[in-house]
Amino acid sequence: MFDPITLDQLRALVAVVEEGSFSAAARKLRRVQSAVSTAMSNLENQLGVPLWDRSTKVARLTEQGQAVLAAARRVLLEVDSLKRLTSDMVMGLEAQVSLCVDALFPLSALVELCEGFAKEFPSVDLRVDIQVLKAVTERVVSGAATIGVVAPPGVAGDLERTFLGRIEMIPVTGPKHPLASIRGPIPAARLADAVQVVLSERSDAGIADQAVLSPRTWRVADLHTKHALLRANLGWGNMPEHLIRNDLRSRKLVRIRPQAWVGMDLRVTFHAVYRPGSMFGPAHRWVLDRLASLLQEHRRNR
């Protein structure tokens, strides 16, 4: 039965190749040359394949040795990664952050959050989920997500919350839709025959549809489907300003003014929600702080 292969043997193998000789590797590793030579011989015996061609003055790797070298480097990289991970854990850094975000949250801000997270916490896994209203809260309550980002109607139970910011919602329709030709406020009677496309929860037990004025509704479960239906002149509906900014400029969508909403604040407020008593480490605290600043930057850069 072979003795177990050691990390010291693998590090010695890599050192000999990188330094060019057994003696140079010994100096780098601060060991005597005989120890490095013995480590190589033992490694060859344990693996059962020749690693070094010793027929020349300077030993060179065999083809088998080249393959073992590549595998050794992969093993050492994983070991170093494991050491960094456990070192971070000792210092209080979490192994994973699970984030569930409402579909109305600006995607560009979410991407920027992920980019910053990858730089700040390269050893921490990040899980991102997109849901609507109550479904966000359910992920947090069940423990599937440690932090949720949701509007007030979706907050349920005794979850703690932190204010993050607001986004603007705009009622729009396609340029060929009958409502698009109406200048000024649109009375309720004109909306009666118009389909309103509504973003709804996938579950019938979820939160009731929000901001519904038309008696005829098409319910969709994701924001991009709603966006496409509106651009196809199939109805009207509220959309987040950040998602339709370019459509308004190019007139692929047209802003309308339902009479019932004239003078109303159509902004959506976002809160971060999490379970009471959550003990957050540096990665979670960074996410909470960055979420708020990103929403503020988003509004300033409109």
Band the pLDDT of 66: cuts 50, 70, 90. Answer: confident
Band the pLDDT of 203: cuts 50, 70, 90. Answer: low
Q: What are phi and psi of 262, to 5 degrees?
A: -60, 130
Distance, in Å, from the CA atom of 248 to the CA atom of 238, rounded to the nearest integer, reads 13
User: 256 burial class (0-12, 13-18, 19+ CB within 10 angstroms)?
Assistant: buried
The yes-or-no verdict on residue 204 having pLDDT over 70 is no
CATH topology of domain 96-160+270-300: D-Maltodextrin-Binding Protein; domain 2 (3.40.190)
Domain covering 169-266 in this structure, CATH number: 3.40.190.290
The yes-or-no verdict on residue 73 having pLDDT over 80 is yes
CATH topology of domain 7-90: Arc Repressor Mutant, subunit A (1.10.10)
Return the bridge partners of 147, or none: 99
The yes-or-no verdict on residue 41 having pLDDT over 70 is yes
Distance, in Å, from the CA atom of 148 to the CA atom of 143, rounded to the nearest integer, reads 11
Q: How is 30-56 classified by DSSP, letter by letter?
A: TS-HHHHHHHHHHHHHHHTS--EE-SS
59-63, 81-85, 216-220, 280-284: lowest mean pLDDT where? 81-85
- Residue spans per domain, the chain: 7-90, 96-160+270-300, 169-266
Average pLDDT, the chain: 84
Tell me, what's the pLDDT at 1?
40
The pTM is what? Answer: 0.63
121 versus 206: the higher-pLDDT residue is: 121
Inter-residue contact 9 to 3 (CB < 8 Å): no
pLDDT tens across 152-175, in order?
A: 777 776 788 888 988 899 999 999
